[in-house]
Structure 1
Amino acid sequence: MLNPEMVREATRLTRAGQLVEATALLQRMLRGDGAHAATRGGAVHVKPARLEPPTLDLKANVVEERESGPSTQATSVQRRKRHLPFGMKNLSGVSLPGPVGRTPPSKGDIAPDGTRFVAATFANAAGSRTYKLFIPSRADRAPRPLVVMLHGCTQSPDDFAAGTRMNFLAEEQNCFVVYPEQPRGANQAKCWNWFRTGDQQRDGGEPSLIAGITRKIMREHPIDPKRVYVAGLSAGGAAAAIMGATYPDLYAAVGVHSGLACGAASDLPTALTAMRQGSGPRGIAKACSPVPTIVFHGDRDTTVHPDNGERVLDPPGEAEGQQAKVVRGRVPEGHAYTRTILADGGGVAISEHWSVHGAGHAWSGGSPAGSYTDPRGPDATREMLRFFLEHSLASFTRR
């Protein structure tokens, strides 16, 4: 059980902008050190948090699959109860100190030759954000798809682009990609503030900034308004889920990697609970949007509980005619996975859930040139982009 005094102190530290200190305090609670915390003048003093990055191994993108018996149940991904040890080493969904001594990715790791990766800024009543825009070499007047990529805590657009290699696949598919950047002024660990109610609403807070960047690029470049997508990792994945729930008229599909559902938390204590145990009851979380969604989550993720990935796809109710198909596969010399596809009566995929077996809190199939990647997994970037390009808005409203 969480120590109420320490939860109050963590909340106080968060409101004071001391997010790293709040994270370290919450880590101590999870380890059971709350009874031994030293106090002075009513405040709890903690040691600095320490980052333990994921272990990386061989890169393999080729997969071997076999299909399990099809199911005709009109339900989403069947919920699988897990009883995993949850020794959280960090709180990437809330706050983390940055990687120490990591060499910045080279230009060749970020984007292919002949393309552009340019910086710009957007501002509105909620504030301002810088972003990096990938422009493919074949960009011309013909409308192109746009992918919005939301980085995880401590990451930057360059780091996230290098780790996911989204720019390289976007060049193959002739897509634009934009990477909004969360500054330390908004969150000390550069996390998107997915756990604050003010940042879970349309036309306000961080969602209005991300949507504003999206629309700005749509005005300034040849973007197909029916093929605009959003994806993210960890805190960025939670923010992507929020964007799908709050702007279903703007985004045709959503990708959530190691993230949480919109409304999974409303403050720091509920964020901790959601990350540790999975999202709360359906009455707490907001109803899912109709936006098609693809989810990747490692089933040994000790930062964001794997049940959160399934909750992202939980529908508000059952629908007739939907069909679920389960496919199992393995990356040679890498992770096995279970892929569950939910399709509508016409055979169009509504959602995909990739459970990567043995994987932790890292971008599946990513490059070691970026942080928080696991090259042993199936290629989340390629699969997300494939899923995105299968969907477009039946109608759109540019606001």
Structure 2
Amino acid sequence: MTQAPARTRTVRRRHDREIVALAVPAFGALVAEPLFVLADSAIVGHLGTAQLAGLGIASALLTTAVSVFVFLAYATTAAVSRRVGAGDLQAAIRQGMDGIWLALLLGAAVIAVVLPTAPSLVELFGASDTAAPYATTYLRISALGIPAMLVVLASTGVLRGLQNTRTPLYVAVAGFIANAVLNVALVYGAGLGIAGSAWGTVIAQCGMAAVYLWVVIRGARRHGASLRPDPAGIRASAQAGMPLLVRTLSLRAILMIATAVAARLGDADIAAHQIVLSLWSLLAFALDAIAIAGQAIIGRYLGADDAQGAREACRRMVEWGVAVGVVLGLLVVLSRPAFLPLFTGDSTVKDAALPALVIVAVSQPICGVVYVLDGVLMGAGDGPYLAWAMLLTLAVFIPAALLVPKLGGGLTALWGAMTLMMAMRLVTLWLRTRSGRWVVTGATR
């Protein structure tokens, strides 16, 4: 009678150690990434309002372009971790190299599109006549760093799949420091203005990509993995990533629709929405760190033909997701009085944001489970289901969001629709997890 509880405690402690070892460094790396834009904004902001406005437009375009290809990290993590679980490190690194080659090809394609169309893209975003030249300059120069940014995504996926989240943390921190130093030196020291900021970021990104490639190539040589491009492997990586691309685009569409609806509610509501969305995105980093751990751990268990271990890890990570969600929700409630004055002194904006923040707080346990199960299914290579589930969620969210202004609902109602969206994701992910259809063992799915 005592052996079963003792085994359960032992299994839980093992899973806890694995989750913490992977999630904590992953969280640090995730937080370091947006600091690039923050540093650029702080440095360029002193050049003038037009330059800062141009940076804001160009950064939005670049962030969107790169976030669309985040599947390079997710799909690579799942594929590599399965091979690791199967004990075939040579094949694991070979699989990772296919993802890196795909990243380089996609990066080259993006450059070919962005360079000639930069002025049109900036105009599409509604840049003013004074801000447009700066936005175009920054966008064209920064586009040269997109292949490096995509290589960083794919290489991060390789290392996560190898159960290594510490190296991405160290590279992200070093990249942030290098970016800040280079920006100051080129913007002010060399007098290059906003162009200096763009070049500083490109150089930092290329440096990060070089470090990642050095780590992966060293591992490939150690285990005898080929570094040459394999057309069949690259096609397989692209096919595995396509469903996750659909999932990402659907999620981006939800966020864009929510912002568009908030804009129709009025200036105070869109300002409050931006504050709430910023906090919601920050909270997502903490939850996404657990999801990243889930991708790596679940893939490894399934690759090792350990279906029971995968199910046990899934259950434990769900418990982590709920617990972290509850803690984050409480922090939001307690920090509201101090949080809002950091962004605005307008009482109207505060009044609009306060109830929306309560909804965000209450929804965090739901978000915790959603992120965890999303990571579990990604780690299992269940991309096609994730794509269809997100499309269904988008179909439910669109009418709910569009009804908000028609029914006279304010920002609180809009964030109610956002919570409905997360609840819909929870239902679809939970049903899939309960079905057990994601538990497909072996080195490949």
User: TM-score w.r.t. structure 2 length?
Assistant: 0.25
User: TM-score w.r.t. structure 1 length?
Assistant: 0.27
Instruction: Kindly name which structure, 1 or 2, has the bigger radius of gyration based on alpha carbons.
Output: 2
Greater strand proportion: 1
Greater helix proportion: 2
